[in-house]
Amino acid sequence: MGFDVEFFRALCLAPGPTGFEGPVQRVVRERVGGFAEMQGDALGDLLAAAGPAVGPGFLAAAHADQIGLIVTYVDEHGFVSFERIGGVDHQVLPGRDLVIHASGGPVEGVVGRRPVHFTPKDERGKAPEVHEQFIDIGAGNREAALERIAIGDPITFAPRFLELSDDMYATQAADDRAGVYAVARALELYAASPGAARFVAFSTVQEESTSMGARAQTLQQRPACVVVVDVDFATDHPGVDVKKAGGEVKLGGGPVLFRGTGSNSRLFDLAREVAAEEGVDVQVKAAPGRMSTDADELMAAGAATLSLSVPLRYMHSPFEVVRGIDMEAAARLLAALARRVGDVFEPGRFVP
């Protein structure tokens, strides 16, 4: 079995802005429930495990949440104000179709955009700040709008999933459903052919804001090693300065292994060795400081940590572009690494 596009599609089309990850976690539960032991916490984190109950622990983590918006106010005319959840660029919003995920079901709307004909010349080409923008859901007044939506309802880009060409996909929320795919698929591969390690797949919540999900589990999980799977900026498209981006990353080039502060050197070396043995192409990128991922929290558990990413174009936009071959390669590498990790890292006996 190769890349499962239907599983990835289901992950990406499930709405899950930070704090509202339930629909995504349900997709993960449905996928891994037949072969893994599962547990969750009050925050919404999901952990699924396979392999021996004893032995070295191997934790692979990816975050379920996506960037989004949240309803903050409805004016007397029924227009909806909002604020950002995570790193939404306000410049991509005017004229965009959005979905408000209300208790009665999804409510579609559009972000109002003043026609260029009515815009002073000195303001043309500039997007209003978020507090100046609004969503039109077709309501005649405030009361009519509040019959359909409520303050605090989450908002996402309109969910679409495009296959641009063979194995290349454009969709919202590939950050980090690409990572969730890789982690869940790796657990599936490992469960079919386990090694000595206890493999725990960790689908975290709230990474785009505070990494609170990873933080809550940091001291509860005591694995021998942790692999944090996120996405990284591809540089293979116009307008990117490779030097400023920190190095070259290409779609189809395989998962990105980080070398430096985001990865334990011994685990990094093992990952490259395993990748070569498995015939998995990898790309290497330097990590000079904070990772700005869940790795910054999970490293605090004291486990050997590896930062691994799936190449992605157009991060934090309505359409992020990824390739299935990179996600499947990441899954294969994770499963193979879990089978080998017991050879190098034994609980309580790891020496850097």
Residues 185, 38, 14, 188, Cα dihedral to 10°: 10
Determine, yes or no, domain membership for 163.
no
In a shared domain, residues 189 and 278:
yes
Which of 59, 4, 65, 58 has its CA nearest to residue 30? 4
193 vs 117, residue with greater confidence: 193
In a shared domain, residues 44 and 181:
yes
In a shared domain, residues 255 and 265:
yes
The pLDDT of residue 326 is above 70: yes
Q: Can you give the CATH number for the domain in which 145 is found?
A: 2.40.30.40
The pLDDT of residue 49 is above 80: yes
273, 306 Cβ separation under 8 angstroms = no
349 vs 149, residue with greater confidence: 149
Determine, yes or no, domain membership for 350.
no
In a shared domain, residues 242 and 295:
yes
When pLDDT is cut at 50, 70 and 90, the band that residue 202 belongs to is: very high
Rounded Cα–Cα distance for residues 19 and 135 (Å): 21
When pLDDT is cut at 50, 70 and 90, the band that residue 118 belongs to is: low
- For the chain, helix (H) and strand (E) counts, in that order, are 9, 17
Q: Mean pLDDT score of the chain, rounded to an integer?
A: 91
In a shared domain, residues 180 and 324:
yes
pLDDT given for residue 345 in this prediction:
65
Determine, yes or no, domain membership for 184.
yes
Q: Which of 206-210, 259-263, 348-352 has the lowest mean pLDDT?
A: 348-352
In a shared domain, residues 244 and 331:
yes
In a shared domain, residues 226 and 310:
yes
pTM recorded for the entire structure: 0.94
pLDDT given for residue 276 in this prediction:
97
123 vs 346, residue with greater confidence: 123
The pLDDT of residue 350 is above 70: no
194 vs 124, residue with greater confidence: 194
344 vs 64, residue with greater confidence: 64
Rounded Cα–Cα distance for residues 323 and 12 (Å): 14
Determine, yes or no, domain membership for 39.
yes
Q: From start to end of the chain, where are the E strands?
A: 37-40, 46-50, 57-63, 68-74, 80-85, 97-102, 105-111, 135-136, 154-157, 161-165, 168-171, 198-204, 225-233, 256-260, 283-287, 304-312, 320-323
Only one residue has tokens 């290409």, namely 250
58 vs 213, residue with greater confidence: 58
150: domain range?
Answer: 68-157
In a shared domain, residues 62 and 180:
yes
pLDDT given for residue 216 in this prediction:
82
Determine, yes or no, domain membership for 162.
no
In a shared domain, residues 176 and 219:
yes
Which of 93, 221, 211, 213 has its CA nearest to residue 157? 93
pLDDT tens digits for range 232-244: 999 999 999 999 8
Which of 265, 263, 233 has its CA nearest to residue 248? 233
The pLDDT of residue 156 is above 50: yes
> What is the per-residue DSSP string for 216-254?
HHTTT---SEEEEEEEEE---STT--HHHHTS---TTS-
pLDDT given for residue 346 in this prediction:
57
At which of 133, 157, 181 does a domain end?
157
In a shared domain, residues 135 and 237:
no
Determine, yes or no, domain membership for 166.
no
pLDDT tens digits for range 306-321: 999 999 999 999 999 9
At which of 122, 157, 192 does a domain end?
157
Determine, yes or no, domain membership for 352.
no
pLDDT given for residue 338 in this prediction:
95
State what percent of residues in the chain have pLDDT above 90: 76
At which of 127, 157, 187 does a domain end?
157
The pLDDT of residue 284 is above 90: yes
When pLDDT is cut at 50, 70 and 90, the band that residue 122 belongs to is: low
Total domain count, the chain:
2
Dihedral sign for Cα 39, 153, 209, 64, please.
positive
In a shared domain, residues 215 and 284:
yes
- What Cα–Cα distance (Å) separates residue 206 from each residue in 16, 22, 43, 62, 64? 10, 12, 9, 11, 8
pLDDT given for residue 348 in this prediction:
44
Determine, yes or no, domain membership for 351.
no
When pLDDT is cut at 50, 70 and 90, the band that residue 172 belongs to is: very high
In a shared domain, residues 212 and 339:
yes
Q: Can you give the CATH number for the domain in which 189 is found?
A: 3.40.630.10
Rounded Cα–Cα distance for residues 42 and 179 (Å): 22
207 vs 231, residue with greater confidence: 231
Residue 18, token pair as written in the block: 């930070």
